[in-house]
A and B are shown apart, each in its own frame.
Chain A
Amino acid sequence: NAGVMQNPRHLVRRRGQEARLRCSPMKGHSHVYWYRQLPEEGLKFMVYLQKENIIDESGMPKERFSAEFPKEGPSILRIQQVVRGDSAAYFCASSPGRASPAFFGQGTRLTVV
């Protein structure tokens, strides 16, 4: 049973480009969470999705960031017109239910140059 898979592991984008981060949850998990870890800081919750629905996006920046979890395929975190401050590690976690502990992926490290 493969764990939570995130790709790419490393992503370099120039300022103004778009970044698309993918997360395939563990088999049987329909709940997905995205977190951002800025350098030398803890993780900050961004968004909680359940198949085709955004449950809570209270941690998402109001502009340029969006997330989806379609019926088929991975969850996608999309950042438009990236800026240097978006450089961070982005972690995805999944769980089989809202109250079940989540398992984390290895993260995507985004560098904006």
Chain B
Amino acid sequence: AQSVTQLDSQVPVFEEAPVELRCNYSSSVSVYLFWYVQYPNQGLQLLLKYLSGSTLVKGINGFEAEFNKSQTSFHLRKPSVHISDTAEYFCAVSEGNAGNMLTFGGGTRLMVKP
């Protein structure tokens, strides 16, 4: 069975500072990896995904993530955050042919301060 661990439940950061949100997964087969963002009282919006190919994936809103197979990690990064990036971020994984039957991490609340 697969699992996803987001190591930080909350990450406070000042505006224009860089940020990294950590995600580790466990799975016995090949996986697809995703990051979603959830704004208050909203649904989830896909930020980026890794299916295959280059391990550095660029997404929307200036976010990027790097797939590290040996460390089973998929950390999300942004070089300079804005107040508007304040939201909950979820890492998710699906195995092989599981499509959109995703296993989510517990989420990381990014709080950007002025």
In the bound complex, residues from chain B placing their C-beta under 8 Å from that of A87 are: none
Considering the chains assembled together, what is the distance between the CA atoms of A93 and B43 in angstroms?
Answer: 9
Interface residue count on the B side (C-beta < 8 Å) = 23
Q: Please tell me if the beta carbons of A41 and B106 are within 8 angstroms of each other in the complex.
A: yes
In the bound complex, residues from chain A placing their C-beta under 8 Å from that of B103 are: 45
Q: Please tell me if the beta carbons of A33 and B104 are within 8 angstroms of each other in the complex.
A: no
Considering the complex, give the chain B residue whose CB is closest to the CB of A56: B101
Given the known inter-chain contacts A42-B90, A56-B101, A95-B100, please indicate yes or no for A106 contacting B43, CB distance below 8 A.
yes
Q: Please tell me if the beta carbons of B99 and A99 are within 8 angstroms of each other in the complex.
A: yes
Binding site for B on A (CB under 8 A): 4, 6, 31, 33, 35, 41-45, 48, 56, 58, 91, 93, 95, 98-107
- A sample of 18 more A-B contacts (CB under 8 A), given A33-B100, A104-B45, is A4-B43, A6-B43, A35-B102, A42-B4, A42-B104, A43-B44, A43-B102, A43-B104, A45-B101, A45-B103, A48-B101, A56-B101, A98-B97, A98-B99, A99-B99, A104-B43, A104-B44, A107-B42
